[in-house]
Structure 1
Amino acid sequence: MNERKQFQWPQPLEGNRPRIWYGGDYNPDQWPEEVWDEDIELMHRAGVNFVSVGIFSWAKLEPEEGVYDFDWLDRVIDKLGKAGIAVDLASGTASPPMWLTQKHPEVLWEDERGDTCWPGARQHWRATSPVFLDYALKLCRAMAEHYQDNPYVVAWHVGNEYGCHNRFDYSDDAMRAFQKWCEARYGTIEAVNDAWGTAFWAQRMNDFSEIIPPRFIGDGNFMNPGKLLDWKRFSSDALLEFYRAERDALLEITPGKPQTTNFMVSASGTGIDYDKWGYDVDFVSNDHYFTPGEAHLDELAYSASLCDGIARKNPWALMEHSTSAVNWRPINHRCEPGELVRDSLAHLAMGADAICYFQWRQSKAGAEKWHSSMVPHAGPDSQVFRDVCELGAELDRLSDEGLPGTRLAKSSVAVVFDYESQWATEHTATPSQQVRHWTEPLDWFRALADQGLTADVVPVRGGWDQYEAAVLPSLYLLSEETSRRVREYVERGGKLFVTYYTGLADERDHIWLGGYPGSIRDVVGVRVEEFAPLGTDHPGTMASLKLSNGVEAYDFADVIGDVAESARVLATFQADPWTGFDGAPAITVNTYGDGKAAYVGARLGREGLSASLPQLLDEMGIAAGGPGSGKVLRVERVDETGGRRFVFLFNRTHETVEVDVEGEPLVASLARVDESGTAEISPNGVLVLKR
């Protein structure tokens, strides 16, 4: 792991004070030049002060090999800058032009069957191609040399959503890079054999040249799990190496200009190890698109909190989200009234100091023409644009009140997330294909919010062991180092929640023997002998299990064979005697050192966890919110030196909720403040207060 880069935030244009950055992707090359002046007038009306330009413009920036055309971009940047709008300038390398791929088809990535991904969309390049890297770096250097002294360019936007479409490449370039990656990681081929367990199915290798990507092995067959886990690590690292090369080419010429690249952090967005990538950016940026339906706000807050964890509580940028519908789902649901403003303020509450959209003006042609934008097809005389203007005014006021530079206040509870545990649970030969790591952290975040506790979502590499309480939710992989941290955390008084599917294997996906969770059995005070997956795939199988506390388990349950004398059983399973589950332990709390460790031995879902948490929190000595507090998501941003505190209150329900006014109201979107010191927040509403 490289040393983490020092945090560096884009600075305002000369003569301006720091503000919350507000804007979005701007694609002027999609429009005739006469539209540009109208765009800038509308940006002024909306309060836009920051736009990303040139992300998919390689074919216009370099129309022929070695022939660069910056004139159009110069004119756009000059218009923007003179209007007080700062530019986040893209490297332009996200998708190569047709002349490049026609001349060098060897840069195109290949799937697991060897089929080529041909041009026609985007990201049709392979990260391990030395030919493509050479062309990309030439463009990066040309961009940097041309714009190194431009006063309106405040940041570099390197690439775009790396791995969104080219996460895996199975070409010979990738094979050679994978071999080198394995040699660097393990040193000897025998160490690789040991890590991958190649004694099984006669897969032993004699030399690194025998390592191949996990190419197609036949329908219904099972890939070596250790190899597949390392392949996912390698694929994330290969893209990271490509990004680093682009970044370094830009910074060699423009060393003082901060750079970033847009991550895709969401509850289910687990393809890239974004926490590892967070070490290599000057500031973290994220693209997030809402989940339609009842989980909308909670999933957004969870993802934004994870982004804050990746940023280590430094300010981060929301580089993309949508004003309403996207274009890439089977059904593209619109935002409900109030959600455009509410969603942006939720990201802001969770630590973002930049609120940006894809995109400024809705396209009239191309694959994203049905993706909503700040200026929709209907034009500025539309509710979307009126909401965009309302949000701009509110961000402006929050900037005046001193919000920029404050940080998300630390919660008392950390919910731990691990990209590699998710990758390991994706294998096709596991106890249950219904269980993945990523769902459990989200369920815990939501269940804790039901109790009035807004948790921090913290990557496994982060400082989760510095919290009063921490949750290890289906953290399938526990390395020796993480196991040591767990043990020391609870010994010195930490309050730990551990669930089913945690600590089953080490970082090589080798099982911890002796019963689960193998490396921390003494900490949790239980020993799981085997699993009881639940489902209806065969007639007569158990679909669910009831617990003595009134909740129901589904998908997965542990067969707990032993409970330590230092542990107390809080809930048992209730089932027919012949199942062997009747009266068996389901939820326990163990005393270990100066701390406590609770164990939840089944998948309870958000509802079951929410119903179980009052007793669990009481047993662990953790204060929850008061009655009705779960109806409101309460988030604070704090100034650690000046004492300013900003309280954000979001309605989590579809009913109007009443709250106490804890300070000076700054923003009341779908909210009404009473003179009596209370306020009513309507569905999709938010109230922002300054203390």
Structure 2
Amino acid sequence: MLNGNTIELGVCYYPEHWDTSFWKEDMLRMKSYGIGVIRVAEFAWNLFEPEEGRFDDSFWDRFLNVAKDCGIQVIFCTPTATPPAWLTEKYPEVLNCDIYGHPVYHGMRKHHNMTSPVYLDFVKKIVEHIAAHYSAHPAIIGWQIDNEVNCETNSYHAPSDHEAFRKYLKEKYGTLENLNRAMGTTFWNQTYTDWEQVHLSRYTLANSNNPHMMLEEKRFISEAAINYIGIQADIIRKYRRSEQFITTNGLFGVLDNHKLVKEKLDFITYDSYPNFAFAMEGSKLSPRSLRDRETSFNLAKTRSVSNRFGIMEQQSGPGGWNTRLLQPAPKPGQLRLWTFQSIAHGADFVSYFRWRTCTFGTEMYWHGLLNYDNFPNRRTEELLRVSEDIQKIQRIAGTKHTTKFAILCDYDNEWDGMEDKWHGPLNRESTDGWFKALQRAHIPFEFVNINDEGTSQPLGNFTAAVYPHPTIMTPARAEILRAYAENGGTLFFGCRSGYKDIDGQCPMMPMPGLLAPLTGCTVEDFTFIGPADEKEYMTLGEKKIPAPTFNDILRPDFESCEVLATYDGNYYNGKPALTKNTVGKGTVYACGSVFAEETAAALLELLPKAELCPVTGWLELPEEIELTVRTNEKNGRSYAFLLNYTAQPQTVTVQKPTKELLTRETLDGTYTMEPYGVLVLDKPQ
């Protein structure tokens, strides 16, 4: 699986929820629907260790043998996401605590912390036992570590967390003098004179903690999570067969997933629930919402972490807990659409959540392929169609998503922006604006992560890139960006760029700081758009486009810097809002505002669309259709996925005779896609 040779379907299965008489029948039915892989055991600690120190393998030995006899392959999980009651009651120090220091008690999941020496010792013992006993079983093809790390919370405040944080800071800063300087503790008399005075965030008046310490706290939580996963991965590697992979499922916050995969895993998997777009009780979708299509944003994030990836949980039914997340049933066609959405973005493995809806517990409304009655239904009928379709596109296995546009991102700004209201919301607004503009313009893109060591993909692969609001900037990252521009790349920056250092402090230099030599301009003045202000715009040529939320008033400092647009309104009417600077062979644009979708769309018009849109001269598509392209790097063959997320038919125009892989028709001229329909086109040579 995920070896580049096949595209495969799987399902999440919970044999502990069903009488043993169901097992064989269930797995044979799975096979009849084209499912060959199951994931098991992520919440089953008690079935391995029913009481402290006593292990019992009879349940899983029996189950795995049934799976082998049925020809089902198994992804086996470590059960560390749900420590058992016998553990948490006897050793309460393993429990997480909230910011007030109150323990998070047993009764849900993810109630543990990741730094307790006692808990880590139990983790090592259970994983050692499982890996030693089960690795040799022929049904097991891979391992999932834990489940959705940092899912229910990414905030940890147990006593062991505070202690581990002190140790982390001692190792990083060496002395209290260095720590105090980096954390700016002379402000409000926060200076530390003893390491025991140092803590993770705690309750304060206005619930406002030191911003530099909050950034460091998130770096620490990420390191703690990577260590926690790494402990388990290292044990499994001692025992696993060479063909078995190690993964975990995400992505969740306050975790450097790029570092995690690079150092601890073979690849990442993602849990894809497009119906979350409809799941917020009482909320209304905006008129320009992309709805379930917005899951493509998360799939692009996953691909940036791990070019080889799979879907461990793919939505297959209506979903929700008894307490939250009211999701409607997938419309006829959406299960197939969402499966192809994942494949279109690079997944070669799609595993549905779940086989049969549980009849009890918190997730008894999180419906799977089968309902409580266990009868075939329209979703299982649709699954049969999906299975047949998958066999028709096996040639696409191992191909890579292709694009010439990048959205740059980094963990330092993401984590700092979680607390900093002066730039965090801006980045989320702008990234969403660019995503929607690119989607509707049929320009595929990649997220590219940047840090001082480099980028997750070579920037030279991309014609253009946007780094919306890189508030934190370092000399190493500025140099990476300079080299990209000098070699012919095109860069866009938004407001609030470059004014913080790696500790989140603001150096005494003109904004955008280290980026000024790239932009060719500095910031003369700046302001949020206040509630009493008119909606702000900029004039670009003959167009009036939004300049929302925050405005940097720019001042060209280099002769090479050209003013392209000026503000329309407010006290800085007529002042520069958008500039263009030549850097070597490339171009750098500075935009003084946040990027609304309309703003990003106007800026895309400054670029060569024929180079960015891979179907120019081949296909004409309405904006309701998503386009992605996967390319075989060995023979250069490309395959275009067209996805219709609407309940209405959509018409596409095929300008060159083209083979469609699912129907095996040759398309030429206009073609009407069915509601929630999918086309997979073999690009003409």
TM-score (structure 2 length as normaliser): 0.90
**Identical-residue share of aligned pairs (%):** 27
Give, in angstroms, the shift of residue 421 of structure 1.
Answer: 0.8
Q: Contact (CA 8 Å) 1:431, 1:531: kept in 2 or not?
A: no
Match of 2:319 in 1: 326
Conservation of the 8 A alpha-carbon contact between 1:422 and 1:436: no
Deviation at 1:213, TM superposition (A): 1.0
- 1:106 corresponds in structure 2 to 93
Aligned to 2:282: none
Following superposition, the deviation at residue 257 of structure 1 comes to: 5.0
Tell me the equivalent position of 2:218.
232
1:427 corresponds, among 415, 419, 434, to: 419
Match of 2:558 among 553, 564, 567: 564
2:234 corresponds in structure 1 to 248
AA paired with 2:382? D
Superposition pairs of residues 25-40 of structure 1, within 5 angstroms: 25-40=12-27
**Counterpart in 1 of 2:290?**
295
Query: Does the 8 A contact of 2:417 with 2:423 survive in 1?
Result: no
Task: Give the direction of change, closer, same or farther, for the CA distance of 1:68–1:396 in structure 2 (3 Å limit).
Answer: farther
- Alpha carbons 1:424, 1:509 under 8 Å: kept: yes
> Structure 1 regions of 5+ residues with no counterpart?
1-8, 12-16
Report the alpha carbon displacement of residue 446 of structure 1 after superposing the two structures with TM: 2.0
2:268 corresponds, among 274, 278, 284, to: 284
- Aligned pair 1:270/2:257, yes or no? no
For 1:54 and 1:553, the matched residues in 2 are separated by 51
Secondary structure of 2:396's counterpart equals coil
2:167 is the counterpart of 1:180: yes
Contact 2:651 2:672 in 1 (8 A): yes
1:601 to 578, 581, 592: 592
Letter matched to residue 633 of structure 2: E
Q: 1:516 to 1:325 in 2, by over 3 A?
A: farther
Question: 2:567: which partner in 1?
Answer: 573
> Match for 2:43: what amino acid?
F
Q: State the Cα deviation string for residues 398-439 of structure 1 (Å, max 9, x = none).
A: 22xx22222222x111111223212111225x4377x24234
Match for residue 60 of structure 1 among 44, 47, 61: 47
The structure 2 residue matched to 1:666, chosen from 661, 668, 674, is: 661
In structure 1, the partner of 2:345 is: 350
Write out aligned runs for 1:464-503 (5 A).
465-466=459-460, 467-503=462-498
Whole-angstrom distance in 2 between the partners of 1:572 and 1:597: 17
**Matching residue within 516, 520, 525 for 2:515:** 520
User: SS state of the match for residue 151, structure 2?
Assistant: coil
SS at match of 2:382: helix
Contact 2:489 2:586 in 1 (8 A): yes
Offset at 1:648? Answer: 1.1
- Equivalent residue number for residue 641 of structure 1: 634
Q: Is the 8 A contact 1:114 1:170 kept in 2?
A: yes
Q: Secondary structure at the match of 1:300?
A: helix
Contact 2:103-2:158 within 8 A present in 1 as well: no
For the Cα contact (< 8 Å) 1:551–1:612, is it kept in 2?
Answer: no
**C-alpha distance in 1, partners of 2:489/2:602?**
23
Pairwise CA distance, 1:351: 1.3
Deviation string, structure 1 residues 443-463 (Cα, Å, up to 9, x no partner): 212212322211112222412
Aligned to 1:5: none
Measured after TM superposition, the shift of residue 674 of structure 1 is 6.6
Matched, 1:22 2:18: no
* Residue type of the alignment partner of 2:512: P
After TM superposition, give the deviation of residue 650 of structure 1 in Å. Answer: 2.0
Q: 1:348 to 1:623 in 2, by over 3 A?
A: closer
Tell me, what secondary structure is at the counterpart of 1:119? coil
Preserved contact between residue 454 and residue 633 of structure 1 (Cα < 8 Å) = no
Report deviation, 1:326. 2.5
The amino acid across from 2:581 in the alignment is N
**Partner in structure 2 of residue 361 of structure 1:** 356
* Cα displacement (A) at 1:152: 0.8
User: CA RMSD for the aligned pairs?
Assistant: 2.5
Match for 2:582 among 569, 578, 591?
A: 591
Aligned 8 A contact 1:452 1:629 in 2 = no
Gaps (5+ residues) in structure 2? 279-284
Residue 611 of structure 1 deviates from its aligned partner by 3.6
Corresponding position of 1:453: 443
Structure 2 SS opposite 1:438: helix
Displacement of 1:622 after TM fit? 6.3
Distance of aligned partners of 1:506 and 1:675 in 2 relative to their CA distance in 1, 3 Å threshold: closer
Separation in structure 2 between the aligned mates of residue 299 and residue 24 of structure 1, nearest angstrom = 23
Distance 1:558 1:42 in 2: 61
Question: 3-state DSSP class of the match of 1:557?
Answer: strand
Q: What residue in structure 2 maps to residue 444 of structure 1?
A: 434
Which of 388, 393, 404 in structure 2 is aligned with 1:393? 388
2:679 paired residue number: 687
**SS of equivalent residue, structure 2 residue 681:** strand
Q: Is the 8 A contact 2:396 2:639 kept in 1?
A: yes
Following superposition, the deviation at residue 81 of structure 1 comes to 2.1
Q: Alpha carbons of 1:272 and 1:87: their partners in 2 closer, same or farther (altered >3 Å)?
A: same
What's the CA shift for 1:609?
1.9
Choose 70-79 or 623-632, whichever is displaced more.
Answer: 623-632
Match of residue 410 from structure 2:
418
Q: 1:480·1:506 contact (CA, 8 Å) conserved in 2?
A: no
Which residue identity does 2:326 align to in structure 1? I
Say if 2:45 and 2:80, in contact at 8 Å, map to a contact too: yes
Structure 1 counterpart of 2:105, one-letter code: W
CA distance in 2 between counterparts of 1:620 and 1:119 reads 57
Q: For residue 574 of structure 1, report the CA deviation from its aligned partner.
A: 1.0
How far residue 229 of structure 1 moved from its aligned partner, in angstroms, is 0.4
* Residue of structure 2 in register with 1:78 after alignment: 65
Look up the equivalent residue of 1:442 and give its one-letter code: D
Residue type matched to 1:270 in 2?
Answer: G
Q: Cα 1:103–1:182, aligned 2, differ >3 Å: closer, same or farther?
A: same
1:651–1:657 contact (8 Å) kept in structure 2: no
Q: Is 1:617 the equivalent of 2:600?
A: no
Return the alpha-carbon distance in structure 2 between the equivalents of residues 141 and 309 of structure 1.
Answer: 31
Q: 1:255 to 1:244 in 2, by over 3 A?
A: farther
**Deviation for aligned residue 1:53:** 0.7
User: 1:604: Cα distance to partner?
Assistant: 3.7
Aligned residue-pair number: 657
Shift in alpha-carbon separation, 1:628–1:608, aligned structure 2, 3 A: farther
Say if 1:180 and 1:432 are closer, same or farther in 2 by CA, change over 3 A: closer
State how far apart, in whole Å, the 1-side matches of 2:653 and 2:645 are: 13
Alpha-carbon separation, structure 1, partners of 2:146 and 2:359: 24
Distance change in 2, residues 1:326/1:530 (3 Å): farther
Equivalent residues of 1:156, 1:257 under 8 A apart? no
Q: Which amino acid aligns with 1:586?
A: A
Contact (CA 8 Å) 2:660, 2:666: kept in 1 or not?
no
Q: Quickly say closer, same or farther: Cα 1:177–1:675, change in 2 above 3 A.
A: closer
